[in-house]
Structure 1
Amino acid sequence: MKVLILHQHFRTPVAGGAIRSYYLAKSLVDRGIETVIITGTNDKMYRKENLEGIEVHSLPIAYDNSFGFALRSFSFLKYVRKSVLLASTIPNVDVCYAISTPLTVGLAALRLKKKLNLKYIFEVGDLWPDAPVQMRIVKNYLFAQMLYRLERKIYEGADSIVALSTPIKIAIEKKISRKRIHIIPNIADCDFYKPTAKNTTSERRLGTEGKFVVSYIGALGMANGLDYFIECANASRKANLPVHFILSGEGAMLNHLKYSAQKLNLNNISITGFVNREMVKEIMSISDAAFVCYKNVPILETGSPNKYFDALAAGKLIIVNFGGWIKEEIEKTQCGVSVDPHHPTDFVKKVEPFIHDHKKLEAFQRASRNLAEEKYDRRKLSDQFANIFLKR
């Protein structure tokens, strides 16, 4: 069997960032399934390489998290055109696996189905266009309706759908009927991330000695609502809590967040920008808690953020500022707490008990790791994913 994966934002462990598609591709290769990926790169030249048995085609298509709506749209449509042209030259493909976001990857899969009679499976990690519509990024009614029609057409054309959470599956079922939908959430790499004692060298380098460390590692976009993270740092300082905040990642809001922290003269927060996977591991190792933050927009509660699963694997107390399935899960398993998104003083109230009661903190951290191993371990989810193709 030969599988073609379309993913505009494919990342490798060396490059860092979200590497779900790498895990999925590797799970296929490890089971003897020939796997080809077409992705985009900021390099100026096309590149073809073999990555641990995965054939990776990188198309020169500029993209950055700081891009505005127009530049993002141009990049997305350029990927559609170029990926379809390239895919048409790849022989003997049995099935296409198209990974959103962006939604336009599904348009490429639709075109390949029409052009080559190639069946496709569509992965939905975020509900588009619901998210940009609810966030008021897409304001034009006619344009929004066009995107909704495209979404429905992509779902209807798919051989089956993979949803990254139960709420996403439910939302899709409300839009289309009689379509097989698998649920394969994001992956916890329990081999790479492990609960460890704090490294004193790392603590000295990052200035966190003797502190309760709360880290946020991930995208710094509008959807993440990280002004709240800054407000929590300010509230903690006012309450004289021995908490140090670490904010790592890249995105359109990076400079704004730096400015906000400087304006408030916060000395209890470190903003690092993008860090590679090894540095993520190091920051995790000195963190007591991991913050998963979203803007107060209902549709964002359906997502399946990578940072949540990395933090579970690392055995960290989980802190969220939104409702939905993750809030319900961390409360049920007692591995985390939710804080009021409107009142950063609630962060102080919820976190302070863990600072003073180390046994309570350790119990929640153990529960995080147990949840990662029992429900989200890479090996288990890799088997589930590969079986979608092996049982066709």
Structure 2
Amino acid sequence: MNIWIFNHYAVGPNSSGGTRHYDLSKELVKKGHSVTIFASSFNHQMLREEHLLQSRSKYKESNYDGVKFIWIKTTPYKKNDHRRVSNMLSYSDKALKIAKRQSEQPDIVIGSLVHPFAAYTGYRVAKHFNSIFYFEERDLWPQTLIDLGKLSEKNPMIFVLGKMESFLFNKAKRTIVLFDKAVGYVESKGIAREKVLYLPNGFDTGRTANALSPASEVSSVFDQLSNQTVAIYTGAHGKANNLDVILNAAKTIRKKEIPVSFVLIGNGPEKERLMKRAFDENIQNVYFLDPVKKEMIPELLKRADVGLLPLSNSPVFKWGISPNKLFDYMGASLPVLLLCDLDGTPVELANGGKVIKNNFEEEMVAFFETTEKDDLIKLGANAREYVEENHAWEKLALKLEEKMTEDLHTKSM
């Protein structure tokens, strides 16, 4: 079958950002299907043009492991302002026009809600070609915006987004959600349970074999920490990522002379402030590194002992969690320290670390004071076993393929 995916922020190999659709598509290609991903050439994670720098072309095509990417030139931006909105609108407008000019026709179109305009573009393309439309609601817009306190329930934008969400729910043959409890959320909107597909983020079990060695300046940091327990965080440095609690714990751990160091890899609007705070407060056991290519992450995780995921306390997590970095940690056999007031997380189900629901600083300090290296290894092995069984991309791709085949068969009858 021919599958098209509209994900504004999708990235391929040798880049920085979420590779959900690339990883999923690789497995679908192995099964004999054709997959095209329509994405922006401007990298959202690094905030820079990545594929069409100094080019007048409106788009270009690339192929990675059989997965076709169409990189679409969009408006650049540096922060969440009107230029980012322009970036979203330019992607949606251009993606629709470029898709309509393709010589082939998709059987199934997936519109991914990294923002509503991208998902709506997927619907319009599916309608144009009379294809089956799947709506992937990765974030529960507008509910996420309310739960994170970004917008009030009475804000007119919430009303508009709610109408768009309802429209996409009703137009989709299936709605894909990444959180286990989000099935109930979609059901509460009047959508039949059998139309909702739970397809969480996954782990590429072959990623380690294809890993790239990190740059020498990155390796040198880990070389300095060879006699330490290394706790690592990879990802965005924003307010929602709650990284101050890591600095709080690191400060206490340093005072207690516990041999633990913290490595934070990534970028974001809070990074400069966090670095200044670490300098001003003399928190010398925290190291900040720039974002690295996804293919370098496995080698860096191999040199760490614990993965950190300090989620902010927000009602949005009542629907479940599925961060890419969580499965990267677990797949690398790292135990995870997870701050999250939620039962039934992958960490808990796997017995692959520790879930801390409150007093994160004190609990983290206690964890490192009382947990031996052998214990960390056992917890990490549990995490890896769980990921292989429940989140391997080949298994998730099979689950999606079965539903697609069923829907195409029904359509042809």
TM-score by length of 2: 0.86
Which segment is superposed worse, 111-120 or 218-227? 111-120
1:18 match: 18
Report the alpha carbon displacement of residue 63 of structure 1 after superposing the two structures with TM.
5.2
Which deviations, in whole Å up to 9, do the C-alpha atoms of 1:182-218 show, x marking residues without a partner?
1111111222248xxxx9x987542212111110011
8 Å Cα contact 2:14/2:294 also seen in 1:
yes
8 Å Cα contact 1:167/1:325 also seen in 2:
no
The AA in structure 1 aligned to 2:286 is I
8 Å Cα contact 2:16/2:291 also seen in 1:
no
CA distance in structure 2 between the aligned counterparts of 1:133 and 1:350, rounded to whole angstroms: 33
Where has structure 1 moved over 3 Å in runs of 4 or more? 113-118, 201-205, 340-343
1:158 match: 172
CA distance in structure 2 between the aligned counterparts of 1:372 and 1:287, rounded to whole angstroms: 18
Which deviations, in whole Å up to 9, do the C-alpha atoms of 1:77-127 show, x marking residues without a partner?
221111111111123222201222123222112323444433311122221
User: Structure 1: which 5+ runs fail to align?
Assistant: none
1:147 aligns with 2:161: yes
CA distance in structure 2 between the aligned counterparts of 1:342 and 1:144, rounded to whole angstroms: 33
8 Å Cα contact 1:193/1:313 also seen in 2:
no
Report the alpha carbon displacement of residue 220 of structure 1 after superposing the two structures with TM.
1.8
Instruction: Kindly report which structure 2 residues correspond to 1:70-109, keeping only aligned pairs within 5 A, or say none.
Output: 70-90=82-102, 91-109=104-122
8 Å Cα contact 1:47/1:57 also seen in 2:
yes
2:276 match: 259
**Structure 2 residue matching 1:236: 3-state secondary structure:** helix
The AA in structure 2 aligned to 1:105 is A
2:49 match: none
8 Å Cα contact 2:23/2:204 also seen in 1:
no
Report the alpha carbon displacement of residue 268 of structure 1 after superposing the two structures with TM.
0.3
Instruction: Kindly report which structure 2 residues correspond to 1:179-194, keeping only aligned pairs within 5 A, or say none.
Output: 180-193=195-208
Which deviations, in whole Å up to 9, do the C-alpha atoms of 1:301-357 show, x marking residues without a partner?
523100010111110111111122564x32343211123445512210133221xx2
CA distance in structure 1 between the aligned counterparts of 2:349 and 2:174, rounded to whole angstroms: 31
8 Å Cα contact 2:141/2:165 also seen in 1:
yes
8 Å Cα contact 1:23/1:382 also seen in 2:
no
1:330 match: 347
Of the three residues 390, 394, 397, the one matched with 1:375 is 390
Of the three residues 233, 238, 243, the one matched with 1:221 is 238
CA distance in structure 1 between the aligned counterparts of 2:81 and 2:170, rounded to whole angstroms: 27
Instruction: Kindly report which structure 2 residues correspond to 1:33-48, keeping only aligned pairs within 5 A, or say none.
Output: 33-42=33-42, 43-44=52-53, 45=57, 46-48=59-61
The 3 A distance-change label for structure 1 pair 342 and 142 is: farther
8 Å Cα contact 1:120/1:160 also seen in 2:
yes
**Structure 2 residue matching 1:214: 3-state secondary structure:** strand
Which segment is superposed worse, 256-265 or 42-51? 42-51
8 Å Cα contact 1:319/1:337 also seen in 2:
yes
8 Å Cα contact 1:335/1:365 also seen in 2:
yes
8 Å Cα contact 1:340/1:346 also seen in 2:
no
Report the alpha carbon displacement of residue 367 of structure 1 after superposing the two structures with TM.
0.6
> Aligned-residue CA RMSD in angstroms?
2.3
Which segment is superposed worse, 121-130 or 203-212? 203-212
Instruction: Kindly report which structure 2 residues correspond to 1:1-392, keeping only aligned pairs within 5 A, or say none.
Output: 1-42=1-42, 43-44=52-53, 45=57, 46-62=59-75, 67-90=79-102, 91-139=104-152, 141-178=155-192, 180-193=195-208, 205-206=221-222, 207-300=224-317, 302-325=320-343, 327=345, 329-354=346-371, 357-392=372-407
CA distance in structure 1 between the aligned counterparts of 2:323 and 2:256, rounded to whole angstroms: 30
The AA in structure 1 aligned to 2:130 is N
Report the alpha carbon displacement of residue 57 of structure 1 after superposing the two structures with TM.
1.0
CA distance in structure 2 between the aligned counterparts of 1:364 and 1:193, rounded to whole angstroms: 19
8 Å Cα contact 1:126/1:303 also seen in 2:
no
The 3 A distance-change label for structure 1 pair 365 and 110 is: same
Which segment is superposed worse, 340-349 or 260-269? 340-349
**Structure 1 residue matching 2:181: 3-state secondary structure:** helix
Percent identity at matched positions?
A: 22
CA distance in structure 2 between the aligned counterparts of 1:380 and 1:369, rounded to whole angstroms: 15
**Structure 2 residue matching 1:56: 3-state secondary structure:** strand
8 Å Cα contact 2:10/2:17 also seen in 1:
no
The 3 A distance-change label for structure 1 pair 181 and 325 is: farther
The AA in structure 2 aligned to 1:364 is L
The 3 A distance-change label for structure 1 pair 326 and 209 is: farther
CA distance in structure 2 between the aligned counterparts of 1:331 and 1:341, rounded to whole angstroms: 15
CA distance in structure 2 between the aligned counterparts of 1:313 and 1:297, rounded to whole angstroms: 26
8 Å Cα contact 1:125/1:304 also seen in 2:
no
CA distance in structure 1 between the aligned counterparts of 2:92 and 2:263, rounded to whole angstroms: 37
8 Å Cα contact 2:24/2:394 also seen in 1:
no
The AA in structure 2 aligned to 1:39 is A
**Structure 2 residue matching 1:4: 3-state secondary structure:** strand
The 3 A distance-change label for structure 1 pair 250 and 388 is: farther
Report the alpha carbon displacement of residue 153 of structure 1 after superposing the two structures with TM.
1.0
The 3 A distance-change label for structure 1 pair 218 and 63 is: farther
8 Å Cα contact 1:8/1:79 also seen in 2:
yes
User: Structure 2: which 5+ runs fail to align?
Assistant: 43-51, 408-413
CA distance in structure 2 between the aligned counterparts of 1:114 and 1:2, rounded to whole angstroms: 15
Which deviations, in whole Å up to 9, do the C-alpha atoms of 1:47-87 show, x marking residues without a partner?
112222222211111456x5214333221122111111111
